[in-house]
Chains A and B, each alone.
Chain A
């Protein structure tokens, strides 16, 4: 039961932080027209895991307790944590 309460508190904090950041982004963001997207369309600007980082990401899955969060899968498929 204490673990469940702890989990609920953590989830609530995370969701609140995420929504706060999205709200800030929405307030401060500008509309970008298609012909203005030269920088945004650059391959280096793509979010998430890049192919060249795959080895590092797999090593983190094996050698660390944490996983997931956009950079790698959450678990399974390997003899990792």
Chain B
């Protein structure tokens, strides 16, 4: 009994004078990504000498200034949303030649668009995701509403992935929404407004795209990208002119239906630790008679862990649509005709250089800068059209602080 009291006493003394570890907050605050934000600015400068508005001749000078913001929100591990909104400001010298009533106003046009996406990962099968999208675009002479549904599934070992997406767009080619004109009407060239060339003013487009992705090895992935598209309705552009051999003039007229079948193949590979090669080839066929081949090659060079430069080249060739004739060469006996050089036979080359800089300092602020990308490309067609394109994207992450148990998720 005495021994027990001695042990208890020693224990009491040692606990009074012993030193414990400093008190650590068992619930340290951690940053939880709340939203991924992309701020985008793009600029497009074009010139050429085959404007379809003037029947295949005339200036194609065009500038587009395009700010855009994309926000992706992952509300939890199963649901995610994204919103994409932007405005294109379009300045076109050839638009003056449509000859609106107030001609100077036609030089600058605006297009606003909004897209909302929702993705849901299946609770029982985390390798499957369903998605839905709604889209709207408003422009002075073109309005569009559309939507899409998608399905994504990857194998358990992530080596194979399949995705399919079905899109539908419902477009209205009448002019006047921005100007408060009523009733809305198709815009024909000024000298051709004596006649109602088209009864239809709507266009429907349906696209079905598939992606089959296969991991080849630790450094290489292959994707097959087939698709099929169908368009119906007014496929002509009502303010495009066509001049005929006999000296007459009409509005462009294209068939009311069009099938398109593209097949793309992509191969991405790491070469060593610094080089990423992305190769892409596409074969395209449609029932307008256009057959096109596209090949592109990007080589990403990781100069530093945070800095990557990517030069790229793209080659494109297409045959002419069977309805295309150059300026003044169309046959008035034909049912369908166009002098739009976008549907002519040509080859094109695009050279681009992209720089990507990732952030070094990961601070504890509410909004972190993640990385910035800048891309310049020069595009040239053999018919003389050329364009300069610049895009820049700032990637930001917005965080919220949340208290999480220090034993939750690791050390």
A-side interface residues toward B, CB under 8 Å?
Answer: 3, 7, 10-11, 14-15, 17-18, 21-22, 25-26, 28-34, 36-37, 39-40, 42, 44-48, 51-56, 59-60, 62-71, 73-79, 81
Contact = CB atoms under 8 A, between A and B. Distances in A.
22 contacts: A7-B259, A18-B212, A18-B226, A29-B214, A30-B218, A34-B157, A44-B268, A47-B213, A51-B38, A51-B373, A54-B42, A55-B42, A55-B391, A56-B391, A64-B318, A67-B284, A68-B227, A68-B229, A69-B227, A69-B263, A71-B280, A73-B209
A70 B223 contact: yes
A44 B276 contact: yes
Interface string B164-181: 000111010100000000
Contacts of B268: 44-47
A59 B270 contact: no
List the 4 closest A-B pairs by CB distance, nearest first. A76-B205, A70-B225, A74-B229, A76-B169
Contacts of A10: 261, 285
Given A52-B373, A66-B262, 9 more contacts: A14-B261, A21-B224, A29-B159, A32-B158, A32-B217, A47-B223, A52-B375, A55-B389, A56-B389
B266 interface: yes
A56 B314 CA distance: 11
B368 interface: no
B276 A45 contact: yes
B36 to A, nearest CB: 11
A11 B284 CA distance: 11
Contact of A81 (B212, B283, B342, B350): B342
Given A29-B215, A30-B218, A40-B218, A69 B262 contact: yes
B282 interface: yes
Given A52-B373, A63-B342, A76 B318 contact: no
B118 interface: no
A61 B218 CA distance: 34
Contacts of A63: 342, 348, 379, 381, 385, 387
A3 B287 CA distance: 7
Which secondary structure dominates where chain B touches chain A?
A: strand
A3 B289 CA distance: 9
B290 interface: yes
A66 B294 contact: yes
Given A32-B157, A36-B218, A70 B209 contact: yes
Interface in B180-226: 203-209, 211-219, 221-226
A51 B372 CA distance: 12
Contact of A31 (B157, B280, B285, B354): B157
B316 interface: yes
B399 interface: no
Interface of B: 38, 40, 42, 44, 66, 70, 135, 137, 139, 141-142, 144, 146, 157-159, 167-169, 171, 173, 203-209, 211-219, 221-229, 231, 237, 258-266, 268, 270, 276, 278, 280, 282-288, 290, 292, 294, 300, 308, 314, 316, 318, 321, 342-343, 348, 350, 352, 354, 373, 375, 377, 379, 381, 385, 387, 389-391, 393
Given A32-B218, A36-B218, A48-B223, A69 B284 contact: yes
A17 to B, nearest CB: 7
Nearest to B205: A76
Nearest to A29: B216
Contacts of A34: 157-158
A8 to B, nearest CB: 11
A26 B282 CA distance: 21
Nearest to B215: A32
Given A39-B219, A44-B276, A78 B142 contact: yes
Contact of A40 (B203, B221, B393): B221
Given A7-B287, A68-B209, A79-B141, A17 B389 contact: no
Given A47-B221, A64-B316, A76 B146 contact: yes
Contacts of B294: 66, 69
A76 B389 CA distance: 22
B342 to A, nearest CB: 6
Contacts of B393: 51-52
B285 A47 contact: no
A55 B378 CA distance: 12
